[in-house]
Structure 1
């Protein structure tokens, strides 16, 4: 597995997503409000058994890591879709929230503030 299997983040998009509250060189023209992308993934019994065995001897649980990266990327894609649908070209204060969902899976929520930005003159 290469680094791309474990990396995350934004691919080329018309909506810029940042974790900061502002973007150097840009001004916020309009705040459109909170946007989020949500996904819930159930646990795979095979990977759970493998993870249980691996946890006894130690080391990274690569299958679970890859699944979490894919899940976060899906949540982020949904956030970008929602921001775009509201007319935003950026999302500020981007964050992830990860919780257990009723003991059957993992809920991943990507959230932030949708804004319209323009370059400062």
Structure 2
């Protein structure tokens, strides 16, 4: 699955737009992590306990985003974005974008790239 933050993929042609897809998770920290993080915040700097939670959340929402696009028949997601927020002491992470079907532009066609030409020749 190709996932990009741009509105198009160089060397690929969009053949179908399948609509918006998203992945969402809401996470809470456990009491031990919250206590440790609170103590670390006194001195300033990065709080590894929260960084780990955010990385795990990002991985989870990307998995859900890609799964939803795949279920709709897509092979790419355009204009992917992350959004985060807080609901009380919980953190929300959302990834969203537009599921599409793309095909590589073959060598010699306008807009072809070396990568798309290679993929088109494989397929």
TM-score normalised by the chain length of structure 2:
0.83
1:7-26 mapped onto 2 (5 Å cutoff): 15-26=1-12
- Structure 2 unmatched runs, 5+: 107-123
1:18-97 mapped onto 2 (5 Å cutoff): 18-97=4-83
> How big is each residue's C-alpha offset from its partner over 1:63-103, in whole Å with a ceiling of 9 and x where there is no partner?
210111011110010000000000000000001111112x1
Structure 1 segments of 4+ aligned residues over 2 angstroms from their partners: none
CA distance in structure 1 between the partners assigned to 2:23 and 2:15 by the alignment? 23
1:25 is displaced (CA, Å) by 0.4
Query: What is the RMSD of the two structures over their aligned residues, measured on CA atoms?
Result: 0.9
CA distance in structure 2 between the partners assigned to 1:104 and 1:59 by the alignment? 20
TM-score normalised by the chain length of structure 1:
0.84
Larger gyration radius, structure 1 or structure 2: 2
Q: Report the 3-state secondary structure (helix = DSSP H, G, I; strand = E; otherwise coil) of the residue aligned with 1:24.
A: coil
- Structure 1 unmatched runs, 5+: 1-14
Which structure has greater helix proportion?
2
The count of aligned residue pairs is 106
